[in-house]
Amino acid sequence: MSQDLKDIKETSLTEEQSKILNSLYDIVKESVNSLITSKDMNDNIIITLTLANVIKNVEKTALKGADKKIVALELTKKIICDILPERKDAILLVFSLTSESILETLVDVSKTVNVTITNATEELKENIKETINKPKACCTIM
């Protein structure tokens, strides 16, 4: 287990939630670290970028519903504290006020995009079928 994760066990996560959080930590931290290009970046931008990356990875796990939300919020908080320890108090204050609404917004947008893509894909499949099944004119007589 990474040194950065030593205080994860102090949270109220279940064993399964902790295991998944620990398995995602290094991958997500590295990804987020490359996105935070300036230590002066706006707190909400940092929270949103981190949460978006966390959600993308938590979605690939076997967790469902509330478990996903808990792990996403805890992992986001832990990564932000570890990447920006000198700003953690200020960012955690903003995090406590905004993180759940940011999470819900990102999930809603993701669902809308997925539904739109699914609908467009189905429409495209139908158009391809119609095109393939159209009778072809083989000859033109003048």
Q: What is the pLDDT of residues 4-15, one digit of tens each?
A: 444 444 468 889
CA atoms within 13 A on the CB side of 36: 27
DSSP single-letter state for residue 62: S
Spatial CA neighbour of 71 closest among 4, 17, 107: 17
Confidence at residue 99, expressed as pLDDT on a 0 to 100 scale: 86
- Displacement of CA 111 from its chain's centroid (Å): 12
| Average pLDDT of the residues in 43-53 | 90
Could you tell me the residue ranges of all domains in the chain? 9-131
Confidence at residue 51, expressed as pLDDT on a 0 to 100 scale: 92
Confidence at residue 38, expressed as pLDDT on a 0 to 100 scale: 78
Q: What is the pLDDT of residues 83-103, one digit of tens each?
A: 999 998 999 999 999 888 888
The pLDDT of residue 137 is above 70: no
- Displacement of CA 5 from its chain's centroid (Å): 20
Confidence at residue 10, expressed as pLDDT on a 0 to 100 scale: 47
DSSP string for residues in 64-105: -HHHHHHHHHHHHHHHHHHH-GGGHHHHHHHHHHHHHHHHHH
